[in-house]
Amino acid sequence: MKYADIQWGDGQPYSPGYGDIYYSSAGGREESEYVFLQQNELTSRWCRLGAGEHFVIAETGFGTGLNFVLTMQAWAEKIDTGQVGPEACLHYFGIEKHPVSPADIARVAGNWPELSASFDELLAVYPLPVEGEHCRALLGGRVQLHLIFADIIDALEPRALQVDAWYLDGFGPDKNADLWSDQVFQLIEKNSGQGTTLSTYTAAGFVRRGLQAAGFTVIKVKGHGKKREMITAVLDHKKITQSPTPWYELEQSRYQNRQAVIIGAGLAGLTTAWSLVQRGWQVTLIEKHRNVAEEASGNPAGLLMPRLSIDNKTDARFYASALLYASHCLDDLQKQSDEKFWFHDGVYSIFKAGKAEKLIEKQGYAEAFMEILHQHELKNSIADPNATLSFFPAAGWASPRGLCENLLRVCGGSLQLIQQNVVDIQQQQHQWQALDENRQDIASAEVMIIANGVGANQFEPVSWLPLSSVRGQITAIPANESSSALNKALSFDAYVTPEYKGVHYAGATYRVGDDSPQLTQAEQDET
């Protein structure tokens, strides 16, 4: 995936590929506000939102983010003036096949200094051009941006969203036919609910007819400025059907009191706790050791790298966007801490002959995500002359223990840590209870999260979980003059981190089905 090719003329972005402009050159901001925000009657609809409810907007053609930024500003105003319910959340799905580069977005932002703070907020979370869905929280979590970098059909076909308002903002229908096809209109209907509205700047006859055929009631209204007409539409009737992909649904929270018990204070338990705390939950975290990160997450170093797949597109997309999300979160957490635990320096990776090239060809990775280093001094140290050296800028290495300690800190007073061994769990009257060896209740809540690693299936209600252990160990190696030249982590079948405080970490061994926690000399020698 590549950034969009954009030409600039009179301070306006133009797409030579589509032969069209991104937004109206005569009052782009005013036209966007008129066509999308006003015609979907957003502000009055938002005022009806109750506590914790959400409102979903989807846009076909996210482009420069202008519509998004205007929407976020309007939403922020409603929050500031107390006109939307507490904790109400705006979900914004921006679908884009050719992501606009951050540099071009920054140039657009320059046209509207009054929007620059919001554009900066967007740019601070804006992902690399990697296919897939990228979720980012803005405005302290009151806006959830779901950037879907994909063709419109790929983006909408698997989903069954309940969008409240659509912005149809492709390039002109005569120039961008694939965004205005009957199939797209049917997918828009599939991702809508009763009462969903949409608006678009065009009044083209085939767009009107396509939307009507998909089930929308279409109304022509006055266009912006000198434009005669535009379209709004509403879905009056919606057949309720079971979603074939319920995991894409944005359920309103069923839990009124937002309290959870989590068992296990490793990476899984603490990242989940942090995620809940950011959403206003109170968490009780139960850990059998005195400190957090005493088991698998107790390593001093671990690599953050995407799992790569040549043939499996779904897998590759998921792990690529997961890497970007994780490194974005770690950047954010690192900024809040004086203790260094995250080293976002990129990772070198060595591949057997031909594999790196195939990955790039099959998955279409942008150079900003995966780059082949044809000329690099490290290449001289690789034993296999046919191997390829590549570089993943978004990757890095972290101290899992440092990360866990930091997560505990940022959860603050919203998290209570209890040192206890949970022996079993049970549910009574909609409350899950964590029990000690006397079957006494340690803590209970409507929601319980089991994050105690392979210990999970010792609890009777989940004893059916098919879990098995994988043991491994890493080795600390004192740095020397030549090893200190390695300035970023290097991965091959194993990995080695750059020198930090005089030490490299190398690993990891991997023994499936082995649960012994002792360090062994044999595995040390293997590393």
Ligand X SMILES: C[S@@+](CC[C@H](N)C(=O)[O-])C[C@H]1O[C@@H](n2cnc3c(N)ncnc32)[C@H](O)[C@@H]1O
132 binds, among ligand FAD, ligand X, none (CB under 5 to 8 A by kind): none
Question: In the complex, which residue's CB is closest to ligand FAD?
Answer: 266
352 binds, among ligand FAD, ligand X, none (CB under 5 to 8 A by kind): none
507 - beta bridge partners?
495
Q: Is 407 in the site for ligand FAD (CB under 6 A)?
A: no
Q: 10 Å Cβ neighbour count for 132?
A: 23
Q: Which is nearer to ligand X, 93 or 281 (CB)?
A: 93
CB 240 within 8 A of CB 217: no
CB 95 within 8 A of CB 57: no
Stretch that binds ligand FAD, among 110-118, 172-180, 212-220, 267-275 (CB under 6 A): 267-275
- Mapped onto helix, strand or coil, the DSSP state of residue 103 is helix
264 binds, among ligand X, ligand FAD, none (CB under 5 to 8 A by kind): ligand FAD
Q: Is 266 in the site for ligand FAD (CB under 6 A)?
A: yes
Q: Which is nearer to ligand FAD, 2 or 307 (CB)?
A: 307
Min separation Cβ 319 and ligand FAD, Å: 11
Q: Is 393 in the site for ligand FAD (CB under 6 A)?
A: no
Which of 159, 363, 507, 523 touches ligand FAD by CB under 6 A?
507
61 binds, among ligand X, ligand FAD, none (CB under 5 to 8 A by kind): ligand X
Residues 344 and 356: their CA atoms lie apart, in Å, by 22
Q: Which is nearer to ligand X, 52 or 102 (CB)?
A: 102
Which has the closest alpha carbon to 22: 152, 111, 92? 111
State phi, psi for 231 to the nearest 5 degrees: -120, 140
Which of 170, 264, 346, 402 touches ligand FAD by CB under 6 A?
264
22 binds, among ligand FAD, ligand X, none (CB under 5 to 8 A by kind): ligand X
For residue 156, count CB atoms less than 10 angstroms from its CB and return exposed for 0-12, middle for 13-18, buried for 19 or more: buried
Q: Which is nearer to ligand X, 61 or 507 (CB)?
A: 61
Stretch that binds ligand FAD, among 220-228, 276-284, 298-306, 319-327 (CB under 6 A): 298-306
422 binds, among ligand FAD, ligand X, none (CB under 5 to 8 A by kind): ligand FAD
96 binds, among ligand X, ligand FAD, none (CB under 5 to 8 A by kind): ligand X
Q: Which is nearer to ligand FAD, 63 or 396 (CB)?
A: 396
Stretch that binds ligand FAD, among 233-241, 306-314, 343-351, 472-480 (CB under 6 A): 472-480
Biggest alpha carbon distance in the chain? 80
Name the site residues for ligand X (rule: CB under 6 A): 4, 22-23, 59, 61-67, 95-98, 151-152, 169-171, 176, 178-179
Min separation Cβ 329 and ligand FAD, Å: 14
Q: Report H helices in 307-384.
A: 313-335, 355-363
Which has the closest alpha carbon to 128: 247, 306, 312? 306
Could you tell me how many helices (H) and strands (E) the chain has, helices first?
13, 30
233 binds, among ligand X, ligand FAD, none (CB under 5 to 8 A by kind): none
Q: Is 443 in the site for ligand FAD (CB under 6 A)?
A: no
The residue ranges of DSSP E strands in 289-414, in sequence order, are: 302-304, 342-343, 347-351, 371-372, 388-392, 396-398
Q: Is 250 in the site for ligand FAD (CB under 6 A)?
A: no
324 binds, among ligand FAD, ligand X, none (CB under 5 to 8 A by kind): none
342-343 sheet: strands from edge to edge: 302-304, 396-398, 342-343
447: Cα separation from own chain's centroid: 23
CB 17 within 8 A of CB 52: no
Share of the chain residues as helix, strand and coil, in percent rounded to the nearest 5: 30, 25, 40
Which has the closest alpha carbon to 181: 190, 192, 170? 170
Site residues (CB under 6 A) for ligand FAD? 263-269, 286-289, 294-297, 299, 302-303, 400, 421-422, 451-453, 455, 472-474, 507-508
